[in-house]
Amino acid sequence: MSERWPLRPDERQRLAVVRSLGLLDTAPEERFDRITRMAARVLQVPSAAVSLIDAGRQWHKSAVGLDDGELPREESICGYAISEDMSGVLAVEDASADSRFRDLSVVAGPDGVRAYGGRVLRVGGRGVGTLCVMDHRPRRFTADELDALADLAHWAEAELRADEERQVSVELESLQRRTEMVLAGVAEGVVGVNRHGQVTFVNAAAEELLGWRAYELIGSDLHALTHSRHRDGRHYPEEECPVTQVLSGGATRRDLFGTFWRLDGSPLPVDWSSGPVMDGDAVVGAVVVFGDASARLAVERMKDDFTSVVSHELRTPLTSLKAALELLDHGAGGELPPAGASFLDIAVRNADRLARLVDDILDLEKSARGALSLTRTPLDAVELMRAAAATVEGTALARDIRVEVEPVTAEVWGDHHRLLQVLTNLLGNAMRFSPSGSTIRLAGSHDETAVHIDVVDQGVGIPADALPRVFDRFWQVDSSQRRASGGTGLGLAIAKNIVEAHGGFITVASEPGAGSTFTVHLPVRSQTMPVAVERRRRAPADDRPETTRKVPA
């Protein structure tokens, strides 16, 4: 690690390219020795070198007039050139008089470096080393000499690229064998990259989505070309890119949403994922799979707009309708005959149900926009659980269902009304799918970071393939029994959003025919701030196997 010369943001990627060349600490080679001999002869200097800049050293692949095979990077003028990522030739007339270099050990003393000329050598767009010449006396290099040095540097780069290309060719053949089956018949865009993030293969769908032809993409830096900016134009650092994280850590990243940039400069919203390509235990590349999310986003916007408009437009006439029905119910139109009173009771019940639906839609809209209003106070979990049980007591009695509370002594930091709404929604959901005579348990527990409240029923259960969608709005399991149970498909979505707004999350475990367990995980209170919930998998209350699926916030 160099302390004198600051490291560039892409140092990790640069070092990866240096080491991928396979040249560090190898024996001298005539193809590089010819370059250094010619550089020394053409520029009439006693010393010349082709060097690679490693993490803490400048290592000479070939050298003329130098005794040591390497020197500390922070004592190296070439290290400065790499730090500055210089594009031209660095020419120094007298290093001992230059404030940047006069304190370097290679400059100190009567025989130290005085004149220096060097050019950064690049492979894959990264500066990997230098071709440099040095003299022990001050001198100014002529323009022709500097041009000659640049030409020789191009020669050295060609030799370095030949090594890289041989290595990349081997990797490409291996990657192509692994990906042939993946590419066949895939409708989504598929792009493969090597361990340096350079594109190695592209399918037809990716070409169509991005606008580039395959030959234009192959060999390029995928992040720099298509993913270097956020949708608002802000720079997207390569180290934050999920593909970079896959290449460095080997973990698959799924269910991502972001923006890729097309050839014509237009943004492409994408749903995407990335996974590693392994060679034994080593990550040798990654595969990126993506699809155009434009249609999905348009549908979601239409759905949001529709629910917002409909709910707001319904609220005003519904308020008037309920007021009129209440007046009739209180005798404003005179005493009603028995049949009329029965019809009025039906109208009042359905108006109330419609009002709850409108309120649910508005709550869902607010939570989706992050506009849900929360008034946080310290709450006793016991009181919250008992209040929820009391709220549904009438419905439970009518359905001959028993609600048991197993309280926990703990305090949470949240909005009483909203958290009561969460537990009420979960209890109501449990009752809709529980048979008469069954028991629903509201059980609490806690650890150092969170309070956990289980709602455990003995109902019909949820199929494993339906668990990922239980918190989707307007979605219900497609069975006649569940459809007959009523409900709008909004209660669980609202509960999830409210819990997430409190910094928590909900998990669900279920087995068809054996009931379901919904667990609310809420941060415990620490003075005046909630403690972040540790999102580790927690065994469900009834320890059911395999069907447990964590639904994260």
pLDDT of 47-100, one tens digit each?
999 999 999 899 999 999 998 889 999 999 999 999 998 888 999 999 999 999
**DSSP secondary structure, 441-477, as one string:** EEEEEE-SSEEEEEEE--S----GGGGGGTTSTT---
Q: Which residue has the higher pLDDT, 443 or 464?
A: 443
pLDDT above 50 for 1:
no
Per-residue tokens: 206? 């990716």
Contact (CB, 8 A) for 269 and 290: no
Range 150-156 average pLDDT:
94
How much is the mean pLDDT over the chain?
Answer: 84
CB 289 within 8 A of CB 188: yes
From 147-151, 318-322, 511-515, the region with the lowest mean pLDDT = 318-322
Give the pLDDT score at 417: 87
Say if CB 5 and CB 11 are below 8 A apart.
Answer: no
Task: Flag whether pLDDT at 371 surpasses 80.
Answer: no
pLDDT band of 264, cuts 50, 70, 90: very high
Q: What is the pLDDT of residue 109?
A: 84
Lowest mean pLDDT across 75-79, 294-298, 541-545: 541-545
Owner of token pair 């209440």: 326
pLDDT digits (tens, 9 = 90+) for 47-60: 999 999 999 899 99
Q: Looking at the whole model, is its pTM more than 0.85?
A: no
The pLDDT of residue 290 is above 80: yes
Q: How far is CA 280 from CA 243, 249, 283, 317, in A?
A: 19, 14, 8, 67
Average pLDDT over residues 430-442: 91
Query: For residue 5, what pLDDT is reported?
Result: 87
Residue for token pair 């909203």: 418
Structure confidence at residue 368 as a pLDDT band (50, 70, 90): low
Nearest to 79 by CA among 140, 18, 23, 125: 18
* pLDDT of 481: 46
pLDDT over 60 (residue 530): no
Residues 229-257 have a mean pLDDT of 90
Give the percent of the chain with pLDDT over 70: 86
* pLDDT at 211 exceeding the cut of 70: yes
Residues 210 and 170: their CA atoms lie apart, in Å, by 27
d(CA 290, CA 272) in angstroms, rounded, equals 4
Q: Which residues contact 315 (CB under 8 A, 6 or more apart)?
A: 358, 362
Supply the angle between the helices 491-501 and 416-432 in degrees, to the nearest 10. 150
Amino acid 487: pLDDT: 56
pLDDT band at 335 (very low <50, low <70, confident <90, very high): confident
pLDDT for 548 beyond 90: no
The closest of 285, 230, 41, 305 to 149, measured between CA atoms, is 41
86: left (phi over 0), alpha (psi -120 to 50) or beta: beta
Least confident of 225-239, 264-278, 524-538: 524-538
Is the pLDDT confidence value at 304 over 90?
no
Q: Minimum mean pLDDT among 174-178, 375-379, 438-442: which range?
A: 174-178
Question: Regarding beta strands 439-446 and 89-92, do their DSSP bridges make them parallel or antiparallel, or are they unpaired?
Answer: unpaired
Could you read off the pLDDT of 480-514 as tens digits, one per residue? 444 444 556 678 888 898 898 888 999 999 888 88
For residues 443-450, average pLDDT: 88
pLDDT reported for residue 552: 34
The H or E element containing residue 225 is helix 222-226
Q: Which tokens in the block code for residue 446?
A: 């806690």
Q: Which domains does the chain have, with CATH numbers?
A: 10-168 (3.30.450.40), 187-295 (3.30.450.20), 297-368 (1.10.287), 377-523 (3.30.565.10)
Longest dimension (CA), the chain: 119
CB 113 within 8 A of CB 98: no
The one-letter code for the residue type at 218 is: I
Mean pLDDT (whole number) for 351-360: 74
CB neighbour list of residue 469: distance below 8 Å, 6 or more residues apart: 475
Residue 553's CB is within 10 A of a number of other CB atoms, namely: 15
DSSP assignment of 27-42: PP-HHHHHHHHHHHHH
- Positive/negative CA dihedral, 298, 304, 307, 313: negative
Position 525 scores a pLDDT of 65
Question: Is the confidence at residue 379, as pLDDT, over 70?
Answer: yes
Q: Contact, 522 vs 498, CB < 8 A? A: no
